[in-house]
Amino acid sequence: MSKAEKTRQFIIEKTAALFNRKGYTSTSLSDITKATGLTKGSIYGNFENRDEVAIEVYKYNAGMLRKNLSDAFTQEFLTASDRLYAFVTFYRTSWPSVFKHGGCPIMNAATESDDTFPALKSQVQRSFENWEKALSDIIRSGQENDEFRGEINPEEYASLFLMLIEGGILLSKTTGNENHLNLALDRISGLITKEIKQNPL
């Protein structure tokens, strides 16, 4: 990496938690300089404006989430069922610490950018599309090897999983009670066992 690239990466990593906790639209240039110890001139020497910093930080935060999720359910020895259950386990075990750092970066950015930050909104849409595709691909692979029921719609279940997860995160983060997320995760586990698998228990 060049010196400029290292500086950009330093700024992104140093402000990742800040943007997620304070907000992608609310974090100011002064907040960025305070978090990084750099001058405004240095920030603007590496980014066109504050919005570009916010976009790149979002990509970083969403990318870290995507990597951690991928690591959880792409191991070669896992069956399609195991991968879906690993998805549930990831949220059950990982999110207490994530809550302390501001919550889900995708959900946070989605609620902020709906009408006020079109460039960020398009990035969030892409994140949800990629997330839904990853889940639907797992379900489809289970159908192809007769592990899952052939008549179910992979996209519909992937979308339902995302709605349950994001709703559970929102309520748990707002109320400070993780039971809402755990209830959503229990529901997803039930869907996998009773509606998706070929031989429900």
How high is the pLDDT of residue 77? 64
The rounded mean pLDDT for the chain is: 90
- Residue 75: per-residue pLDDT: 64
Residue 100: pLDDT band (50, 70, 90) is confident
User: What does the buried/exposed string (b/e) look like for 74-101 if buried means 16 or more CB atoms within 10 Å of the residue's CB?
Assistant: eeeeeebbebbbbbbebbeeebeebbee
Q: What pLDDT was estimated at residue 110?
A: 87
**Selected residue with higher pLDDT from 108 and 190:** 190
Q: Say yes or no to pLDDT of 1 above 80.
A: no
What's the pLDDT at 3? 87
Task: Give yes or no for residue 133 having a pLDDT over 80.
Answer: yes
What is the amino acid identity at position 151?
A: E
Domains of the chain: 58-196 (1.10.357.10)
Long-range contacts of 82-86 (CB under 8 A, 24+ apart): 83/138, 84/135, 84/138, 84/139, 84/142, 84/188, 84/192, 84/196, 85/189, 85/192
Does the pLDDT at position 201 exceed 60? no
pLDDT given for residue 199 in this prediction? 76
Residue 177: alpha-carbon gap to chain centroid? 20
Pinpoint the alpha helices (H) of the chain. 3-22, 29-36, 40-46, 50-73, 80-100, 105-113, 118-144, 154-175, 179-191
Rounded to whole angstroms, the Cα distance separating 11 from 19 reads 11
Confidence of residue 141 (pLDDT cuts 50, 70, 90): very high
